[in-house]
Chains A and B, each alone.
Chain A
């Protein structure tokens, strides 16, 4: 059991942090400091244990989908839905949910964790289920090398006690899967869709030999106005509110995980109906309305995510803005911008901003993309962007901390859902 004083003190810090409009992680950092076992103690009480979702891209949206799919089956789910996917983010989310004695009323916890934090987390709280989405080059300034990232996911998988759900299209994860003692289930793509979802090796000109792809519980079979999934070999077609090819592949991952958790008792019509209704997580293709026009926020944080974002959202008819920060959560090395091809934006980018706005403008210059205006100050840049794009739909590509700041700023112009 957590120490009562740490719960109360943490809740107080959380209330204060919210009053001053600060981030979600500060109170969690505080409670971790004063009671290192707080998280483990609170999560140990859950009857269906802990589900951990990790990988380079798609954690937040997939976590949101898994939570909703499990809820459709009548489970009460605890999750860290702020997208603060460091362990202190989990502690912060727990503070909001536990009662004063540290009790958490839920059946199961579904958590997204950054790979590096997950490795430490699983030693304190072994997950019953885990989902390994993909390994792409991301923030190598933190993790060193992509093979090291794969090793982190392997460690998460080895700590998992019941089932590990694995993306069979990721060659590094297929290798990881061979080393796992727990039950392994797969999700995947029909052969005809493989070229739409490049893995890291094919993005960088390497071999993509895929003879050793195992059978999968859930396969994304077809993608058009509706999506067709094959569930244990049976085709199911459904419309989706999610946009973007990568979000739909994440839906296959979420389905495979939900099926592994629920087992034979699944109410499939309810499961699919809920999936059809899932909307993107905040900042992941989220649509706001500004001055009567849609304004989409697309989070970008690594080359593969940025490429898939550009591929998923055609620029025609939209005014485009790009905001690049280089804080720790964004990745400090700007090299990644040079691994993204921006030629699809050849009609121009109206506004470029963020601490590294000039790095971004420089990148666009080398792809012959006209840049309307650059201002490293996000507030001024957004005001200028809204002025020059009046009457047009808008799309903003932004790194994590730029997205948080822009959402706050957009709140002055639009109704923005408050997520805490």
Chain B
């Protein structure tokens, strides 16, 4: 019997790949393999043909220069991404693409960069970077451990659920207690670290959603998460 296949779409690996987002792709790919799937990774850069078959979408952070390069292209594929989200396709977007999945990003000098509005959130450039170790709490995923590094301050509009509530750290804006956002099966977050290695529950959830969408069922394997558990325990004890 041939293995069941999952296709992971990586958005803009050339321009939005800053600092460790590679880790999210690696963990997603390896864990899907451990759970018994054949994995196909498709990279999507500006101007590429958008693939027909997509089971999981992954997107990372970028510098301002990277965001400028991809913004127009992102707006052009926005309707397709929103349709995939409505169909229940799981997605994870970090930092820069999290912001651009929202309605807009307003820069320090008042310039407004339009997002695709998949999340009903807005982001404004803040006076200082919010940097450091962060721990949040989520009903679905338990404690979420990571590292944040962003100057944008993101605000959820009414009715939008956060990914977690902040136990320690700044989160979306350092003012309310929220970190990240959720809509359908789409997760947005500021957390680096990378996010998925030390939070395998989120990785497995993305894989489960994708498997159920495509094949109707998901039978998880039991990966050895001893190192992940210990890495989490040590990370939680580290100073900001």
Chain B residues lying within 8 Å of A332, measured Cβ to Cβ, are 132-133, 147, 238
Chain A residues lying within 8 Å of B149, measured Cβ to Cβ, are 140-141, 144, 333
Residue A362 is within 8 A (CB to CB) of chain B in the complex: yes
Q: Contact check, A338 vs B26: say whether CB atoms are below 8 A apart.
A: yes
Q: Which of B13, B22, B238 contacts A339 (CB 8 A)?
A: B22
Q: Contact check, B147 vs A338: say whether CB atoms are below 8 A apart.
A: no
> How far, in whole Å, are A141 and B190 apart by their CA atoms in the complex?
13
Q: Which of A206, A333, A359 contacts B14 (CB 8 A)?
A: A206
Question: 26 A-B contacts, Cβ less than 8 Å apart?
Answer: A140-B149, A141-B131, A145-B63, A147-B64, A204-B14, A205-B14, A205-B17, A206-B14, A333-B19, A333-B20, A333-B193, A334-B193, A334-B235, A337-B23, A338-B22, A338-B23, A338-B26, A338-B194, A338-B197, A355-B238, A358-B227, A358-B234, A359-B231, A359-B234, A362-B197, A376-B234
Residue B27 is within 8 A (CB to CB) of chain A in the complex: yes
Q: Which of A137, A334, A358, A371 contacts B147 (CB 8 A)?
A: A334
DSSP class of A's interface residues: helix, strand, loop or mixed? helix
Of residues 319 through 359 on chain A, the ones whose CB sits less than 8 Å from some CB of chain B are 326, 332-339, 355-359
Residue B40 is within 8 A (CB to CB) of chain A in the complex: no
Residue A128 is within 8 A (CB to CB) of chain B in the complex: no
Closest A residue to B229 by beta carbon equals: A358
Residue A174 is within 8 A (CB to CB) of chain B in the complex: no
Chain B residues lying within 8 Å of A357, measured Cβ to Cβ, are 234
CB distance from B198 to the nearest CB of A (A): 7
- Which of A144, A332, A333 lies at the interface centre, i.e. has the most chain B CB atoms within 10 A of its CB? A333
Chain A residues lying within 8 Å of B234, measured Cβ to Cβ, are 355-359, 376
Chain A 132-166: CB-based contact to B (< 8 A → 1; otherwise 0): 00000100110011110000000000000000000
Residue A392 is within 8 A (CB to CB) of chain B in the complex: no
> How far, in whole Å, are A326 and B235 apart by their CA atoms in the complex?
10
A336 and B231 in contact, given A146-B63, A326-B238, A366-B30 (Cβ under 8 angstroms):
no
Q: Contact check, A338 vs B20: say whether CB atoms are below 8 A apart.
A: yes
> Which B residues contact A (CB, under 8 angstroms)?
13-15, 17-23, 26-27, 30, 63-65, 129, 131-133, 147, 149, 151, 192-194, 197-198, 224, 227-228, 230-231, 233-235, 238
Chain B residues lying within 8 Å of A179, measured Cβ to Cβ, are none
A335 and B193 in contact, given A141-B147, A361-B227, A362-B228 (Cβ under 8 angstroms):
yes
Residue A365 is within 8 A (CB to CB) of chain B in the complex: yes
Closest B residue to A139 by beta carbon equals: B19
Q: Contact check, B227 vs A362: say whether CB atoms are below 8 A apart.
A: yes
> How far, in whole Å, are A334 and B231 apart by their CA atoms in the complex?
11
CB distance from B15 to the nearest CB of A (A): 8
Q: Contact check, A366 vs B63: say whether CB atoms are below 8 A apart.
A: no
Chain A residues lying within 8 Å of B65, measured Cβ to Cβ, are 147
Residue A363 is within 8 A (CB to CB) of chain B in the complex: yes
Of residues 82 through 99 on chain A, the ones whose CB sits less than 8 Å from some CB of chain B are none
> How far, in whole Å, are A343 and B94 apart by their CA atoms in the complex?
26
Q: Which of B17, B64, B133, B228 contacts A204 (CB 8 A)?
A: B17
Chain B residues lying within 8 Å of A376, measured Cβ to Cβ, are 234
A362 and B231 in contact, given A145-B64, A205-B13, A339-B22 (Cβ under 8 angstroms):
yes
> How far, in whole Å, are A140 and B224 apart by their CA atoms in the complex?
31
> How far, in whole Å, are A368 and B23 apart by their CA atoms in the complex?
14
Q: Which of A147, A334, A358 contacts B63 (CB 8 A)?
A: A147
Chain A residues lying within 8 Å of B19, measured Cβ to Cβ, are 137, 140, 333, 335-336, 339
Closest B residue to A326 by beta carbon equals: B238
Q: Contact check, B231 vs A361: say whether CB atoms are below 8 A apart.
A: yes
Chain A residues lying within 8 Å of B238, measured Cβ to Cβ, are 326, 332, 355
Chain B residues lying within 8 Å of A365, measured Cβ to Cβ, are 224, 227
Of residues 61 through 81 on chain A, the ones whose CB sits less than 8 Å from some CB of chain B are none
Closest A residue to B240 by beta carbon equals: A332
Closest A residue to B133 by beta carbon equals: A332
Chain B residues lying within 8 Å of A141, measured Cβ to Cβ, are 131-132, 147, 149
Q: Contact check, B235 vs A359: say whether CB atoms are below 8 A apart.
A: yes
CB distance from A337 to the nearest CB of B (A): 8
